[in-house]
């Protein structure tokens, strides 16, 4: 999910090495780890068996689905478990003037033919040198000159990371982004104007395996997943690729076998997209519903295919209103609620929540203030 352009993502099939290589711990490192500087990632790089993207054994021969677990309800072993050791999240290990050079592993279109626009799921190889936590973002610096500052590089574009800290190969060496290609159409002619297209999203969607990419970060603390209470309720609301951080949360909760991390609470996802072809990660989410019906709920709002109770388009705030009594009760009992996606989603949602609060005889302003004070309210919109 880009903080400067909408993105969407869904199921992806990619070519990688055999599954054993995904689950093998290739890290040998000290037990004490600090995320406070690049010295952590540098020493890590020296102490691990590094694998180049050009190593065909890692990424070729066997094609498996991104949702590795579709054939089994058992969880996937992840490594290196030392990624669990730090007490604080990694922050700004690499900055714009000293960015990290990563490599593209794969770029896959992940929406159907009837989806408006093109969305890609992009896997980036950071070789273990740019660790992150679920809910954080990477910065991407597209190649070329900043047109507003000749001679200077482009500004950093932030994208929410759509994988857990172990990445889509479960080995701690990759991160995934969901990117919707930003295309500008002239309102008078209706034709595409490439000169006004999104620089970074088009660079990412056009990338090829092996291409270099400049990364900064990781950044962000507001969307970090609170894990102190394994029985907590997490209500996740997304439009488009605002679903990116939630994919990371849910893989951590339901797909990965992380020692001493057993989720026994409730994860409830509300996802708003245009139509069925625009659904994101639907195969993964549907599997969680099947395997964990007591711990996962999933409600979709398809604006071009469904109507709300007033006969208008079904937006995510309409789904929230549908379940508002239950949502308010969960919030009263300490549930966390997250919002991620376009800025434009928030006014409608806030209006809905305010109306529901007033119908319940409550002050929404007071309730919102309490949710923020209790750190139950998490918002990242762009």
| DSSP-derived 3-state class of residue 251 | helix
First-to-last CA distance in the chain?
9
Residue 231: closest CA among 340, 336, 85, 372 = 336
* CA–CA separation, 266 and 22 (whole Å): 28
Which contacts qualify for 307-316: CB closer than 8 Å, 24 or more apart?
315/272, 315/348, 316/237, 316/238, 316/239, 316/270, 316/271, 316/272, 316/345, 316/349
**Sequence-ordered list of residues with C-beta below 8 angstroms from that of 189, at least 6 positions apart, any chain:** none
> Any bridge partners for residue 107, and if so which?
122
Tokens 């995934």, residue located:
176
> Any bridge partners for residue 174, and if so which?
125
Is 355:315 a contact under the CB 8 Å cutoff? no
Residue 24: Cβ within 10 Å count: 15
Residues tagged active-site = 159-160, 340, 380, 382
Residue 27: closest CA among 8, 9, 43 = 43
* CA–CA separation, 1 and 323 (whole Å): 26
* CA–CA separation, 114 and 294 (whole Å): 33
The CA angle 338-260-85, to the nearest 5 degrees, is: 80
Taking CA atoms, 118 is separated from 73, 121, 123, 160, 234, in Å, by 31, 10, 16, 18, 29
DSSP E strand boundaries for the chain:
13-16, 62-65, 76-77, 100-109, 119-125, 137-141, 145-146, 149-153, 157-160, 174-180, 212-219, 233-239, 256-257, 266-273, 296-302, 336-341, 377-381
DSSP-derived secondary structure for 161-192: B-S-TTTTTTSSSEEEEEEE----B-TTT--B
The CA angle 210-196-316, to the nearest 5 degrees, is: 85
């Amino acid at each position: 999910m880009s903080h400067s352009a909408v993105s969407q993502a869904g199921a992806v099939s990619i070519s990688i090495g055999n599954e054993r290589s995904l689950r093998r711990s290739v890290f040998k490192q000290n037990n004490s780890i600090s995320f406070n500087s690049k010295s952590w990632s540098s020493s890590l790089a020296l102490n691990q068996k590094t694998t180049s993207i050009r190593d065909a054994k890692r990424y070729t021969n066997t094609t498996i689905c991104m949702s590795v677990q579709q054939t089994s309800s058992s969880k996937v072993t992840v490594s290196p478990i030392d990624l669990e050791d730090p007490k604080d999240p990694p922050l700004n290990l690499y900055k714009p003037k000293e960015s990290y050079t990563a490599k593209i592993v794969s770029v896959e279109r992940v929406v159907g033919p009837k989806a408006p626009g093109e969305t890609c799921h992009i896997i980036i190889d950071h070789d273990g040198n740019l660790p992150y936590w679920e809910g954080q973002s990477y910065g991407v610096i597209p190649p070329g000159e900043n047109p507003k500052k000749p001679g200077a590089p482009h500004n950093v574009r932030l994208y929410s990371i759509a994988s857990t800290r172990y990445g889509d190969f479960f080995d701690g060496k990759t991160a995934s982004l969901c990117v919707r290609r930003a295309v500008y159409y002239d309102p008078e002619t209706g034709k595409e104007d490439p000169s006004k297209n999104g620089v970074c999203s088009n660079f990412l969607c056009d990338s090829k395996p092996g291409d270099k990419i400049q990364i900064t970060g990781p950044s962000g603390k507001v969307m970090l997943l609170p894990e102190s209470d394994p029985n907590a309720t997490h209500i996740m609301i997304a439009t488009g690729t605002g679903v990116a951080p939630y994919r990371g949360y849910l893989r951590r909760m339901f797909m990965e076998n992380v020692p001493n991390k057993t989720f026994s609470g409730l994860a409830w996802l509300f996802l708003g997209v245009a139509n069925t072809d625009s659904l994101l990660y639907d195969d993964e989410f549907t599997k969680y519903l099947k395997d964990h019906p007591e711990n996962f709920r999933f409600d979709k709002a398809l604006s071009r295919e469904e109507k709300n109770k007033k006969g208008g388009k079904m937006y995510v705030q309409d789904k929230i209103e549908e379940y508002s009594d239950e949502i308010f009760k969960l919030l009263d009992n300490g549930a966390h609620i997250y919002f991620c996606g376009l800025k434009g989603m928030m006014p409608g949602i806030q209006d809905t929540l305010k109306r529901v609060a007033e119908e319940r005889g409550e002050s929404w302003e007071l309730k919102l203030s309490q949710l923020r004070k209790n750190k139950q309210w998490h918002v990242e919109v762009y």
